[in-house]
């Protein structure tokens, strides 16, 4: 999986001395810079060690409690529903639309009940959407919280994703648009008071582990063999930093912590370069759109140029039994890193199901069985070499479709 989408090796190395300025300075500076990007008061930006912790904070701030229901899209990462039970509320999964990556508004409206207190609005892969005014007006007791984990700096009709509903949570985990190794923030709705509490710090050892893992990811994006060796060494030394099995397999909620100092430093450097990163990724998306258009059976979702894609998704016309094997085959054929996100309705496959029963969300199940993605990483140049790789990808997809016709 190609990650650290917006970080160069030079930025990684050269930003680290910034830790000498200390965490208070770096966090305040990041908070101010994010506030200036979104054109909001810095008090509305709350930094955390993850998007999931930011989501839990928004649930608490909206007063979600026993007996409430929180609607979660049935095409999400397990760490999102994990945060709901500690509030006392119950998770309810709602299917995504038949042809899209996000909700169908009529299906969502049919699922809203008297108990619904919060709807988590997906913006999968960074494709930003807005809840229609009629739906918000009809259900004034419901708060719509954006899961903007995939869509940092995406826009919807000229508005920054996260700025137009009842709060949003963003992720800076390895694989996201900006990468701090881990990290996230809540964009609080106007007028909401920030929570007054000191969060525990991520330990120094864990910050070293973060850096070691992130370095392996950076190498993988540029020199796959070196990346694999580095990752193997990091794993051997027990330095890989990732979500615990308790969260993924057992559905445990995540205890919130403060944004690590190293993450703040790395994020500030990427943020300073955001306009150039967005331009580069738009060029990648345009090339992917043109290449995939050669195969009308392959579904993809060309979206507005204001979309900050986290990966560029495409789907086959029928279910693929072994997606990982097909991704390896396509990657080998074209030299691009083909991903399998999301490989289940509740990603990753094998994670805790909460109340989900097979068949509950047929559109999402079909999408999870057919969807693949292309990298949106600044290490991938938008040039003639990429075009050649894309021609090979299209040929490989074409022959797979013919074999399985």
Using the contact rule CB under 6 A, the part of the chain among 19-27, 45-53, 356-364, 382-390 near ligand PLP is: 45-53
Q: Among residues 46, 173, 247, 306, which is the contact residue for ligand PLP, using CB under 6 A?
A: 173
94 φ, ψ (degrees, to nearest 5): -125, 135
Q: Which of these ranges, 35-43, 73-81, 222-230, 297-305, lies near ligand PLP under the rule CB under 6 A?
A: 73-81
Does position 146 interact with ligand PLP (CB under 6 A)? The reply is no
Cβ(154)–Cβ(147) below 8 Å = no
Residue 30 in contact with ligand PLP, rule: CB under 6 A: no
Half-sphere CA count of 261, side-chain side, radius 13 A: 16
Q: Is 51 in the site for ligand PLP (CB under 6 A)?
A: yes
Stretch that binds ligand PLP, among 46-54, 99-107, 283-291, 350-358 (CB under 6 A): 46-54
Residue 45 or 79: which CB sits closer to ligand PLP? 79
Q: How far is the CB of 303 from ligand PLP (least distance, A)?
A: 16
Give, in order, the Cα–Cα distances in Å from 358 to each of 19, 166, 227, 268, 361: 47, 31, 37, 42, 8
The phi, psi pair for 278, rounded to 5°, reads: -65, -40
2: Cβ contacts below 8 Å, ≥ 6 apart: 220, 221, 337, 339, 375, 377, 379, 380
Taking the alpha carbons of 367, 372, 378, 381 in that order, is the dihedral positive or negative?
negative
Using the contact rule CB under 6 A, the part of the chain among 74-82, 135-143, 362-370, 397-405 near ligand PLP is 74-82
Near ligand PLP in 205-264, by CB under 6 A? none
Contact 72, 309 (CB under 8 A): no
Does the protein bind ligand PLP through residue 147 (CB under 6 A)?
Answer: yes
184 in contact with ligand PLP (CB under 6 A)? yes
Contact segment (CB under 6 A) with ligand PLP among 44-52, 92-100, 107-115, 355-363 equals 44-52
Instruction: Establish if 69 lies at the interface with ligand PLP (CB under 6 A).
Output: no
Asked if 311 touches ligand PLP (CB under 6 A), the answer is no
**Residue 79 in the binding site for ligand PLP (CB under 6 A):** yes
Show the CA angle centred on residue 43, arms to residues 116 and 155, nearest 5°: 65
Q: Is 380 helix (H, G, I), strand (E, B) or coil?
A: coil
- C-beta separation of 278 from 153 below 8 A: yes
Residue 76 touches ligand PLP, criterion: CB under 6 A: yes
- Helix axes 224-236 and 204-222, enclosed angle (nearest 10): 160
Contact 68, 115 (CB under 8 A): yes
Q: To the nearest whole angstrom, how small is the minimum distance from the Cβ of residue 123 to ligand PLP? A: 8
Task: Pick out residues in 153-172 that bind ligand PLP (CB under 6 A).
Answer: 171
The reply to whether 365 sits near ligand PLP by the rule CB under 6 A is no
Instruction: Give the residue, chosen from 7, 45, 59, 80, that forms a contact with ligand PLP under the rule CB under 6 A.
Output: 80
Q: Looking at 5, 6, 11, 50, which residue binds ligand PLP (CB under 6 A)?
A: 50
52 binds ligand PLP (CB under 6 A): yes
* C-beta separation of 400 from 320 below 8 A: no
> Cα–Cα distance between 105 and 9 in angstroms, integer?
42
Q: Which residue has the tokens 């040929």?
A: 395
Q: Does 26 bind ligand PLP (CB under 6 A)?
A: no
Q: Stretches 145-153, 155-163, 226-234, 391-399: which one binds ligand PLP (CB under 6 A)?
A: 145-153
**CB nearer ligand PLP, residue 184 or residue 260:** 184
Q: 198-237: b or e for each residue (b if 16 or more CB lie within 10 Å)?
A: ebeebeeebbebbbbbbbbbbbbbeeeeebeebbeebeee
Closer Cβ to ligand PLP, 77 or 382, answer by number: 77
**Angle, CA of 319, 323 and 329, to the nearest 5°:** 120
Cα(142)–Cα(167) distance, integer angstroms: 12
Our finding on whether 15 is near ligand PLP (CB under 6 A) is no
Report how many residues bind ligand PLP under the rule CB under 6 A: 13
Is 150 a residue that touches ligand PLP (CB under 6 A)? yes
> Minimal distance in Å, beta carbon 386 to ligand PLP?
26
CB of 302 to ligand PLP, least distance (A): 21
List interacting residues with ligand PLP (CB under 6 A). Answer: 50-52, 76-77, 79-80, 147, 149-150, 171, 173, 184
């Amino acid at each position: 999986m190609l990650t650290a989408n917006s970080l160069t090796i030079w930025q990684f190395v050269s930003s680290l001395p910034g830790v000498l300025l200390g965490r208070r300075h770096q966090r305040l500076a990041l908070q101010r810079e994010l506030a200036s990007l979104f054109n909001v008061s810095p008090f509305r930006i709350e930094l955390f060690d993850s998007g999931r912790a930011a989501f839990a904070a928004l649930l608490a701030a909206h007063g979600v409690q026993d007996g409430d229901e929180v609607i979660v899209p049935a095409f999400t990462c397990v760490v999102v529903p994990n945060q709901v039970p500690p509030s006392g509320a119950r998770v309810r999964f709602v299917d995504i639309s038949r042809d899209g990556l996000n909700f169908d508004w009529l299906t969502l409206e049919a699922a809203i009940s008297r108990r619904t207190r919060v709807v988590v609005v997906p913006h999968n892969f960074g494709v930003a959407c807005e809840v229609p005014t009629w739906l918000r007006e009809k259900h004034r007791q419901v708060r719509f919280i954006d899961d903007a984990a995939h869509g940092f700096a995406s826009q919807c009709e000229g508005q920054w994703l996260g700025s137009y509903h009842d709060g949003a949570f963003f992720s800076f985990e390895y694989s996201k648009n900006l990468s701090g190794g881990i990290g996230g923030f809540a964009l609080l709705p106007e007028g909401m008071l920030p929570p007054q509490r000191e969060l525990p710090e991520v330990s120094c050892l864990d910050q070293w582990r973060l850096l070691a893992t992130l370095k392996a990811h950076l190498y993988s994006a540029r020199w796959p063999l070196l990346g694999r060796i580095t990752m193997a060494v990091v794993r051997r030394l027990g330095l890989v930093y990732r979500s615990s099995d308790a969260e993924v397999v057992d559905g445990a909620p995540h205890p919130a912590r403060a944004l690590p100092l190293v993450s703040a430093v790395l994020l500030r450097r990427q943020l300073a370069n955001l306009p150039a990163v967005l331009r580069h990724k738009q060029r990648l998306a345009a090339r992917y759109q043109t290449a995939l258009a050669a195969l009308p059976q392959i579904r993809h979702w060309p979206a507005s140029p204001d979309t900050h894609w986290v990966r560029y998704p495409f789907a086959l016309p029928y279910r693929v039994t072994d997606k990982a094997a097909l991704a390896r085959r396509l990657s080998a054929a074209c030299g691009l890193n083909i991903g399998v996100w999301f490989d289940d309705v509740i990603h990753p496959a094998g994670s805790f199901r909460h109340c989900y029963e097979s068949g509950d969300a047929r559109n999402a199940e079909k999408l999870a069985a057919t969807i693949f993605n292309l990298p949106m990483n600044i290490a991938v140049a938008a040039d003639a070499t990429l075009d050649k790789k894309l021609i090979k990808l299209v040929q490989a997809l074409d022959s797979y479709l013919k074999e399985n016709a």
